[in-house]
Amino acid sequence: MAHLGSIIFALFSLPFLVTSQDQPLSWEDDQFYECLLHEPTIFPRQLGSLFYTQSAQSYWPILQSTLRNRRFNSSDASKPRYIITPRNSDHIRGAVMCSKRFNLDLRVRSGGHDYEGLSYLDRSGPFVLLDLGQFRKIDVNVTEETAWVEAGASLGEVYYNIANKSGTLAFPSGLCRSVGVGGHISGGGQGTLMRKYGLAADNVIDALIVKANSTLLDRKGMGEDVFWAIRGGGAASFGVVVSWKLKLVHVPPKVTVFTVKRTLEQAEDCKELTWIESALYFDDGYKRGESVPDLLNRHLNEKPKFFKAKSDFVTKPISREGLKTIWDTFMHLGGEQRLLILVPYGGRLSEISEHETAFPHRAGTLFNLLYYTTWRKRGQQEARNNLEWIKRLYNVVGNYIPKPRTAYLNYRDLDLGKDLSGNASYSKAAATWGHMYFKHNFKKLAEVKYRFDPENYFRNEQSIPPFRNEQSIPPQCPQ
């Protein structure tokens, strides 16, 4: 029987059984494959639809399936050595374990909306892409007014599943249906309900995360400091969020939405819709002739475009003179679509302490500013024109808002500073992107990082560096 077992084991290790590959695996690829294969958490016969090398026919369609920004779809952009598409948490644990064992960096992509592509790019060396596109189960409990949502689910899928169970429950998060909950919530999560109920991160009551040693932890297991950090501090610096437990909020049967256009064609400004219909409205679904079930479509028919974004949080009113100068700059050149979006703060957001979660932009913030430009024509000159336009506008606005300037993590901006290796020192990160994204919470984030991921396995060009503070008393974080 032992001899027979060894024969079966050897057969399962043969490359031709990897049905997702079009060519036999190289020795190096085979070693990584066998690592996944030999982990008891992953069943051998499943690997054909979970593991892809660059020779696999499905590799490129999967890679480009949620590659939103054409700036990072060039031939010279870094590509993952392997793509893993997990179906359960054990697959994620196996991916973390084997990637770390083979000294491969790991990138985790939920919806692909990272503005600088850091969820699917790694400019420092070979890496594995953990694509959560098939990891998106949603379990809504109307009685408890909660929902467990896997990290690969899109906002549209979350909204649709909630509304399918109740017409008066909702979740406060973003506008774009194809955004993945994994990154959106971990960066804070602005949305139309935030002045009433706070950010998406303010309405998370539990989570599951896989840390660098491949253990799966819930809120109690990870500890309150880590749970604090992944709500607004960006979970990608700490581990792989598997799922969120959301606290649902109450909405009336009808909500009012409006678009004010100062044109002769405008008749009325306001419409009464259900909450789920308003989610479609704010994602421009009605302009495309869509209906509520279309919220489940995470792959819109729009072609990917080139884009660049920047952000600010504004704490004092901008003068009339400043607004005129900003407007004149805004109208100068630019791409096919130029946006300057003002997202109002206040309300419930001002009642929550800036230290309640890692997201610090609370009381005193008037609005968040999003600078955004897009273009479709390929070429260095076109890109240069758009990048110069948005930098010029950003610099002009800087003359009329208080210092130091701050920024929103979910509108990631590598212009604020970066470290290609992902191993920036605490002082370098603090002096650049650290305090701009997190203000005084950055130090605590770095201390939590040191206790939870001291080897800095989970890193990127703007990740939280581990920082050991000898004077602080370390809480009990699991090993």
- Per-residue pLDDT of 22-57, as tens digits, reads 566 787 888 998 898 876 555 445 566 899 999 999
Using N-to-C axis directions, what is the helix angle for 27-38 and 89-101, rounded to 10°? 140
Distance CA 257, CA 101 (A): 52
pLDDT at 233: 98
Q: Which has more pLDDT, 474 or 94?
A: 94
Which helix (H) or strand (E) segment is 392 a member of?
helix 380-397
Give 245's strand partners: 148, 206
Distance CA 258, CA 278 (A): 10
Position 305 pLDDT exceeds 80: yes
Average of per-residue pLDDT values in the chain? 89
The SS3 call for residue 3 is helix
pLDDT at 102: 96
Percentage of the chain lying above the pLDDT 90 cut? 77
83 touches 21 (CB < 8 A): no
Confidence label for 402 from pLDDT (cuts 50, 70 and 90): very high
Give 192's strand partners: none
Which region among 156-170, 221-235, 252-266, 319-333 has the lowest average model confidence (pLDDT)? 252-266
Distance CA 191, CA 172 (A): 6
Does this model's pTM top 0.95? no
Confidence label for 268 from pLDDT (cuts 50, 70 and 90): low
Distance CA 235, CA 248 (A): 21
pLDDT at 193: 97
Q: Measuring CA to CA, which residue among 246, 307, 294 is closest to residue 113?
A: 307
pLDDT at 469: 81
Which tokens in the block code for residue 335? Answer: 């791409």
Position 365 pLDDT exceeds 80: yes
Confidence label for 19 from pLDDT (cuts 50, 70 and 90): very low
Distance CA 469, CA 474 (A): 9
Distance CA 164, CA 140 (A): 9
Q: Max CA-CA distance within the chain?
A: 85
Position 179 pLDDT exceeds 70: yes
**Phi/psi of residue 132, nearest 5 degrees:** -95, 20
